[in-house]
Structure 1
Amino acid sequence: MKLGNVTLLCRYKWHMNRLLIVLPLLLLLSAFIIDSKRPVIYVVGDSTVQNSDGNGTNEYWGWGTLLKAHLDTTRISLHNHAKAGTSTRTFMSDGRWDKVLAQLKPGDFVLIQFGHNDQAAINDSARAKGTLKGIGEDTVHIFNLKTRQPEIVHTYGWYLNKYIKEAKEKGAIPIVCSLVPRNKWKGDKVDREIEYVNWAEEVTKASGTFFINLNQLIVNQWEQQGKDAIKKFFPVDGTHTNLAGATENANAVAEGLAALKDCPLKGYLK
């Protein structure tokens, strides 16, 4: 082979090697650009929304990530930030909400569901996550026995309204869900923890925000199936569902989204 041909062949191989290195990077960059332009659903909430217990079991699931089954994920992404043990108050004070806010862009959505842990103790050395009842401007000043820091605690509704306001300021669309019911019955009727359902609805109405009465949607299903049939969803306790129960809850969320009037998120449902 002539020297010139050898040189050309070496150059060809060199360029091909560079292309093999650069092409995957270009494809990755392209995917990132496309993904960054797509709207995102940010899910915030407690253990009833969080994906799983992290131990690979089937006994402790939330509905958040399971909502993906109802979405056209080629056009929209879902990021589940829900965390077990959090309330409207501690999801903020732990810095989790700030991380969501830092990523929010116009056209994104925020699905919000709290209420179970808001009923816990306001101040103790173990949990200190409860909020004041109601939706008003009431406050209590405490020295937090868990964090060892002073803190002003507000009402459940005050915190909900803060999520809504700050999401809207980012150009995102908040959607509030009432808390999912526990497996607690009075005769053949589910105990709905109606105060928190009503407070969530009142806050959203006052702020002109989308609201899904998830509690009522699930209660309707349960009461049709009956108390004995629902037991299979709660192998550990009366609050945390297994995968089957969480899937049913995710189905109810999708049903609620589909029924929302003038909500852009409906266009991304399968």
Structure 2
Amino acid sequence: MKRISANRSVLLLLALVLMSFNTAQKKIKIYLVGDSTMAQKAKNKYPETGWGVPFTWFFNQNAEVDNRAQNGRSTQSFINEGRWKAILDSLKADDYVLVQFGHNDEVPTKKSATTPSQFQENLKRYVNETRAKKANPVLITPVARRKFDGGKVVDTHKEYAELVRNVARELNVPLIDLNERSLSLLQNFGEDKSKLLFLQLAERQNPNYPKGVEDNTHFSELGARYMAELVVQELKGIKSPLTSYIVGN
């Protein structure tokens, strides 16, 4: 009897081991495609921080976050420079591509600018080419700038954020409305306290910025973390399968 019981225990243990292999989480990559508000920064730009940097901290060992965002890029210049092709060449089935542009597309005086029509067509290209690789696109509206008028936060991305929403609806793409969420965050912080979220330094406060800096577009470490948290919350809110890779989920 003891021998039979022992054999059953061994078989049960073996079954559990096999089940663990069968349910093991697939390793994936999460590519971040966008501009300076998302990008990693050079050491001499510290404490400026893109939200894509703390975003990596929220995922387990089976999800590698590959931040390809670059300062000053638009939907078009990112393609023109071959940066998108480099991602496509390495993109695998079940990977994720999170796309956030707008800051440099919407300013007509910039070389990187795109018309509303070009912007939408470029976003569609990112979505369709990602899907052709059997990977998963996620569109993100541009994160808010810090601008207030009479104590009320101003939406500086109104047109281009809506274009992102339009493409997401048309192509049935998961959408993270970071513009809306970050505007609410800034309003809650208020005009003065919200400075803490951005690259705002007094003269001689930081050796990288001896003359000080007043930047209402790029984030401090604190601001980048808050924005990354908003993106993670939104992923959970839209019930993205990607949330299964979030630590503690």
User: TM-score of the superposition, structure 1-length normalised?
Assistant: 0.74
Note the 1:200-211 alignment, pairs <5 A. Answer: 200-211=164-175
Note the 1:1-270 alignment, pairs <5 A. Answer: 38-55=27-44, 57-58=46-47, 60-72=48-60, 74-121=61-108, 127-133=110-116, 136=117, 155-192=118-155, 193-234=157-198, 235=200, 236=213, 237-261=215-239, 263-270=240-247
Opposite residue 187 of structure 2, the aligned amino acid is E
**Residues 153 and 183, structure 2, Cα contact 8 Å, conserved in 1:** yes
Please state whether the residue corresponding to 1:156 is helix, strand or coil. Answer: helix
Specify every segment of 5 or more residues in structure 2 that has no aligned partner in the other structure, as ranges.
1-25, 201-212
Distance in 2 (CA, whole Å) between partners of 1:205 and 1:222 is 26
1:56 Cα offset (Å): 5.5
* Aligned position for 1:13: none
Q: Highest Rg: 1 or 2?
A: 1
**Residues 260 and 266, structure 1, Cα contact 8 Å, conserved in 2:** no
* Aligned position for 1:5: none
1:187 Cα offset (Å): 2.0
Distance change >3 Å, CA 93–CA 54, structure 1 → 2:
farther
Opposite residue 34 of structure 2, the aligned amino acid is G
Please state whether the residue corresponding to 2:62 is helix, strand or coil. Answer: coil
Distance in 2 (CA, whole Å) between partners of 1:158 and 1:178 is 15
1:68 Cα offset (Å): 1.4
**Residues 51 and 66, structure 1, Cα contact 8 Å, conserved in 2:** no
Opposite residue 88 of structure 2, the aligned amino acid is L
**Residues 112 and 174, structure 1, Cα contact 8 Å, conserved in 2:** yes
Runs of 4+ in 1 over 6 A off after TM superposition: none
Opposite residue 203 of structure 1, the aligned amino acid is V
- Residues 55-101 of structure 1: CA distance to partner in whole angstroms, max 9, x if unpaired? 2621x2111121112111x1111100000010001000011000000
Please state whether the residue corresponding to 2:97 is helix, strand or coil. Answer: strand
- Residues 27-57 of structure 1: CA distance to partner in whole angstroms, max 9, x if unpaired? xxxxxxxxxx611000010000002244262
- Two-structure CA RMSD over aligned residues (Å): 1.4
Distance in 2 (CA, whole Å) between partners of 1:115 and 1:108 is 23
**Fraction of identical pairs, as percent:** 33
Specify every segment of 5 or more residues in structure 1 that has no aligned partner in the other structure, as ranges.
1-36, 137-154
Opposite residue 45 of structure 1, the aligned amino acid is G
Distance in 2 (CA, whole Å) between partners of 1:215 and 1:189 is 15
Distance in 2 (CA, whole Å) between partners of 1:199 and 1:189 is 23
| Most deviating of 241-250 and 228-237 | 228-237
* Aligned position for 1:31: none
Please state whether the residue corresponding to 1:77 is helix, strand or coil. Answer: strand
1:120 Cα offset (Å): 2.9
